[in-house]
């Protein structure tokens, strides 16, 4: 009797009950097939670094819906347009939460922002602020001068670079010139600040901002087994102090900028930037300071790299495909001519340019697995059981290259969007660079405008060629690992001006 009450048998009994319960729970479910998981680590060490390519290969072996275990967490990957519709439309409500690893939880103060918020009253409220206020067509239009200013600054920087003595006919790194546009555009849009002066020198606040962004990326990337195996978390503690320091630093900078806006609003009224909009709407929507700060930083994280990545891939395709490049330029010369620069008002008259943007986003979606969704209830997908708490990924990269729905899917042929009117903002499940459904990207139109404007200016102002002696097939079209897909090797190309030299100056505006 005494033996029976000793701690060891009690622990063994409890453990067996727990294991039987877990086994019973899992056996009840008919899970999607997938690679055999190892105990504890699951499939973690079988996943290759460029995840969406690895998942596309696995879809070939296991089918358009498969299971992959990240430690003890079930992840389900879907890779067909029918299943994407099921996830993002039919079962959308039960799959609209977000899984937060420990870094995301710290950054977002447990989902007080938008990106990492679970689907619920807070999310619905904040999403309404985005849809009705931040990304309304009126505000998008009011912020247009910022975008147009920044693209002309990009044109000027490329012109200066390629007309320097000794630089003519030499290639440049395209990303060096396009990332500045995205950076300045997003800081002006969100914070109403251009941290970089006309000589390209960044002020102190800008340096601090850049350091915070870089630090955030470092934290976000440091993933350990502790993220995936709940009961191993204690073995992989995170550096709480470093996270707290980072959070405090981010808050300090954001609050300083918010205070500056509050002061200037009193003197000269509200402006259109997100920070002004959110402070003005704070009472109406009952937004906490954490939510305002979280939203502002969401825009930075989600809106900066995605546009750079899209433009760089599009340029790679255009350098590889001189026929398409020439066709866009012919359209631009016809519509705009050679003695003025493009504006966003020209977009409706440039349908081929729009098709090029769509085709680039089809082949190179910057977030190829979208952002992860989490099941809030047991759901069925493709006839399989997806238990509550599972993480669901849609491989939009694989879907957009599926030969069952696309003719010659790997060919870069913008004409396919001329032949058929295909939406890319979440209504056609064959091409979903912005996702679809409740969590569809709220910045989609803004992103498209900026990408179209950057690409239009790059092509109207310059001819683009491969570096001397390089062949089209030698361009490295592979991706970097990560949640977003930068080109593995930054694109290099030769830019040659094609318009009168007076059209290469920045047209600065103060909005
Ligand atoms: C080419 C540019 C862009 C692409 C391809 C893109 C793509 C995406 C995708 C795939 C998602 C996830 C959808 C889902 O989980 O179902 C997303 C979410 C989001 N994007 Fe974008 N995005 C772009 C530009 C932007 C811009 C410019 C902003 C804002 C300035 C932005 C803000 C957001 C936010 C806040 C979310 C989270 C939405 C939520 O969780 O409800 N994005 N984006």
Pairing relationship of beta strands 65-70 and 73-78 according to DSSP bridges: antiparallel
CA nearest neighbour of 151 among 187, 182, 174, 195: 182
Question: CB-based burial of residue 23 (10 Å sphere; 0-12 exposed, 13-18 middle, 19+ buried)?
Answer: exposed
- 241-250 long-range contacts, CB within 8 A, separation 24+: 243/103, 243/106, 243/219, 246/212, 246/215, 246/216, 246/219, 247/106, 247/107, 249/208, 249/212, 249/215, 250/212, 250/216, 250/293, 250/297
Instruction: Check if the beta carbon of residue 429 is closer than 8 Å to that of residue 84.
Output: yes
Q: What gap in Å lies between CA 63 and CA 116, rounded to an integer?
A: 29
Instruction: Confirm whether 21 is domain-assigned.
Output: yes
Does 81 fall in a domain?
A: no
Number of domains in the chain: 1
**Average pLDDT score, the chain:** 93
CA distance 285 to 288: 9
Per-residue pLDDT of 472-501, as tens digits, reads 999 999 999 999 999 999 999 999 999 999
Mean pLDDT within 391-411: 98
**Which of 441, 449, 450 is the best mutation target for the ligand 1 pocket, counting ligand atoms within 8 Å of the beta carbon and taking the most?**
441
Q: Tens digits of per-residue pLDDT, 35-65?
A: 999 999 999 999 999 999 999 999 999 999 9
What confidence tens digit (pLDDT) does each residue in 374-390 have?
A: 999 999 999 999 999 99
CA 5 to chain centre: 56
Give 472's DSSP letter. G
> Which of 91, 443, 446, 485 has most ligand 1 atoms within 8 Å of CB, for mutation?
443
Tokens of 120: 């619920």
User: Cβ distance 37 to 43 under 8 Å?
Assistant: yes
Which residue's alpha carbon is nearest to atom 26 within ligand 1?
A: 303
pLDDT > 90: what percent of the chain? 82
Q: Give the count of beta carbons closer than 10 Å to the beta carbon of residue 356.
A: 28
User: 19 C-alpha to center of ligand 1: Å?
Assistant: 40
243: closest CA among 224, 219, 221?
A: 219
CA 184 to ligand 1 centroid distance, Å: 18
Residues tagged in the binding site annotation: 441
The residue ranking higher by pLDDT, 440 or 235, is 440
Q: How far is CA 422 from CA 329, 351, 429, in A?
A: 23, 13, 10
Predicted confidence (pLDDT) per residue in 94-127, tens digit: 999 999 998 899 999 999 999 999 999 999 999 9
- 20 confidence band (pLDDT: 50, 70, 90): low
Determine contact, residues 376/351, Cβ cutoff 8 Å.
Answer: no
Is the confidence at residue 92, as pLDDT, over 80? Answer: yes
Q: Would you say residue 1 lies in a domain?
A: yes
Ligand 1 atom nearest to 309, measured from its CA: 1
Give CA–CA dist 47/317, Å, rounded. 28
Of 22, 45, 21, 25, the residue nearest 35 (C-alpha): 45
Residues 296 and 510: their CA atoms lie apart, in Å, by 21
Distance 447 CA to ligand 1 centre (A): 9
**Residue minimizing CA distance to atom 27 of ligand 1:** 303
| Ligand 1 atom at minimum distance from 367 CA | 10
Task: Return the DSSP state at 482.
Answer: S
Å from CA of 305 to ligand 1 middle:
11
Distance 190 CA to ligand 1 centre (A): 15
Question: What pLDDT does 183 receive?
Answer: 94
Q: Tell me if 456 is assigned to some domain.
A: no
Is residue 466 a part of any domain in this protein?
A: no
Ramachandran sector of residue 192 (left: φ over 0; alpha: ψ -120 to 50; beta: rest): left
Atom 37 of ligand 1: nearest residue by CA position? 115
User: What's the confidence (pLDDT) of residue 152?
Assistant: 97
* Ligand 1 atom index nearest CA of 116: 40
Nearest-atom number in ligand 1 for the CA of 451 is 1
**Which residue's CA is the closest to the ligand 1 atom numbered 20?**
441
Q: How is 333-346 classified by DSSP, letter by letter?
A: HHHT-SSS---GGG
Residue nearest to atom 6 of ligand 1 (CA): 434
Structural domain that includes position 19: 1-30
* Partners of residue 381 on adjacent β-strands: 384
With 90 as the cut, is the pLDDT of residue 326 above it? yes
Cα–Cα separations (whole angstroms), residue 478 to 234, 313, 409: 37, 10, 17
* 411 Cα–ligand 1 center, Å: 26
Look at residue 9 and tell me if it is in a domain: yes
- CA-closest candidate to residue 480, choices 92, 18, 33, 53: 53
Cα 449 to averaged position of ligand 1 atoms, centre (Å):
14
**SS (HEC) of 222-260:** CCCHHHCCHHHHHHCCCCHHHHHHHHHHHHHHHHHHHHH
d(CA 159, CA 491): 17
Q: 302, 424, 453: which to mutate for ligand 1, most atoms within 8 A of CB?
A: 302
* Percentage of the chain modeled with pLDDT above 70: 94
- Which residues have a Cβ under 8 Å from the Cβ of 352 and sit 6 or more positions away? 327, 328, 331, 414, 418
Pick the range with the lowest mean pLDDT from 55-59, 154-158, 262-266.
262-266
What's the whole-number mean pLDDT along residues 322-333? 98
Protein residues with CB under 6 Å of any ligand 1 atom = 114-115, 298-299, 302-303, 306-307, 310, 365-367, 370-371, 433-435, 439-443, 446-447, 451
Provide mean pLDDT across the span 288-305. Answer: 95
* Residue 477, CA distances (Å) to 39, 59, 61, 314, 381 in order: 36, 22, 24, 11, 33
- State which ligand 1 atom lies nearest to the alpha carbon of 115: 40
Is residue 71 predicted with pLDDT exceeding 90? yes
489 alpha-carbon distance from chain centroid = 19
CA-proximal residue: ligand 1, atom 19 (nearest): 441
Question: Quick one: pLDDT band at residue 172, thresholds 50, 70, 90?
Answer: very high
Please write the tens of the pLDDT for every residue from 342-370. 999 999 999 999 999 999 999 999 999 99
Distance, in Å, from the CA atom of 395 to the CA atom of 392, rounded to the nearest integer, reads: 10
Whether residue 2 is predicted with pLDDT greater than 50 in this model: the reply is no
Query: Which residues line the annotated binding site for heme?
Result: 441
Asked if the structure places residue 25 within a domain, the reply is yes
8 alpha carbon to ligand 1 midpoint, in Å? 52
Confidence of residue 143 (pLDDT cuts 50, 70, 90): very high
Which band of pLDDT confidence, cut at 50, 70 and 90, is reported for residue 239? Answer: confident
- Which residues make Cβ contacts (< 8 Å) with residue 9, sequence separation at least 6? 3
Tokens of 262: 């509050």
* CA pair distance 162, 183, nearest whole angstrom: 22
Ligand 1 centroid vs 6 CA: distance in angstroms? 56
Residue 315 lies in a domain: no
Alpha helices, DSSP H, located in 86-120: 102-107
Q: How far is the CA of 432 from the centre of ligand 1 (A)?
A: 11
- Residue 438 CA: nearest ligand 1 atom is 41
**CB count, 10 Å around CB of 484?**
17
């Amino acid at each position: 009797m005494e033996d029976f009450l000793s701690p060891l048998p009690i622990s063994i009994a409890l453990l067996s009950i727990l294991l039987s319960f877990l086994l019973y729970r899992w056996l009840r479910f008919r899970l999607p097939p997938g690679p055999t998981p190892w105990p504890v680590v699951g499939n973690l060490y079988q996943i290759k670094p460029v995840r969406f390519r690895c998942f596309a290969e696995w879809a070939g072996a296991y089918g358009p819906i498969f299971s992959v275990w990240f430690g003890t967490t079930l992840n389900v990957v879907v890779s067909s347009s029918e299943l994407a519709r099921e996830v993002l439309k039919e079962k959308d409500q039960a799959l609209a939460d977000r899984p937060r690893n420990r870094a995301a939880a710290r950054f977002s103060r447990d989902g007080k922002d938008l990106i990492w918020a679970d689907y619920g009253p807070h999310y619905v409220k904040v999403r309404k602020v985005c849809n009705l206020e931040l990304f309304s067509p009126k505000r998008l239009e009011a912020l247009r001068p910022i975008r147009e200013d920044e693209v002309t600054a990009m044109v000027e920087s490329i012109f200066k670079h390629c007309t320097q003595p000794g630089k003519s006919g030499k290639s440049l790194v395209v990303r060096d010139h396009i990332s500045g546009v995205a950076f300045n555009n997003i800081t002006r849009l969100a914070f109403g600040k251009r941290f970089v002066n006309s000589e390209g020198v960044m002020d102190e606040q800008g340096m601090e901002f850049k350091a915070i962004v870089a630090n955030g990326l470092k934290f976000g990337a440091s993933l350990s087994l502790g993220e995936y195996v709940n009961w191993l978390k204690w073995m992989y503690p995170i550096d709480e102090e470093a996270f707290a320091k980072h959070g405090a630093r981010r808050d300090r900078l954001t609050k300083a900028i918010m205070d500056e806006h509050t002061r200037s609003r009193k003197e000269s009224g509200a402006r259109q930037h997100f920070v002004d909009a959110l402070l003005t709407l704070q009472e109406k929507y009952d937004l906490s300071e954490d939510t305002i700060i979280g939203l502002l930083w969401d825009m930075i994280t989600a809106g900066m790299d995605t546009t750079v990545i899209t433009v760089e891939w599009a340029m790679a395709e255009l350098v590889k495909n001189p026929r398409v490049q020439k066709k866009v330029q012919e359209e631009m010369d016809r519509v705009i001519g050679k003695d003025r620069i493009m504006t966003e008002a020209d977009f409706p008259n440039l349908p081929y340019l729009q098709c090029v943007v769509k085709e680039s986003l089809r082949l190179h979606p910057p977030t190829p697995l979208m952002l992860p969704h989490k099941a809030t209830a047991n759901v069925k997908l493709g006839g399989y059981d997806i238990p509550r708490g599972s993480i669901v990924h849609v491989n939009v990269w694989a879907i957009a290259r599926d030969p069952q729905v696309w003719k010659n899917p790997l060919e870069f042929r913008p004409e396919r969007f001329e032949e058929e009117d295909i939406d890319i903002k979440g209504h056609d499940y064959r091409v979903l660079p912005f996702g679809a459904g409740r969590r569809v990207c709220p910045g989609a139109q803004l992103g498209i405008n900026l990408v179209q404007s950057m690409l239009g200016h790059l092509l109207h102002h310059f001819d683009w060629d491969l570096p001397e002696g390089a062949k089209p097939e030698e361009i490295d079209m592979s991706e970097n690992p990560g949640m977003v897909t930068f080109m593995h090797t930054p694109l290099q190309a030769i830019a040659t001006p094609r318009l009168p030299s007076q059209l290469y100056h920045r047209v600065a505006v103060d909005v």
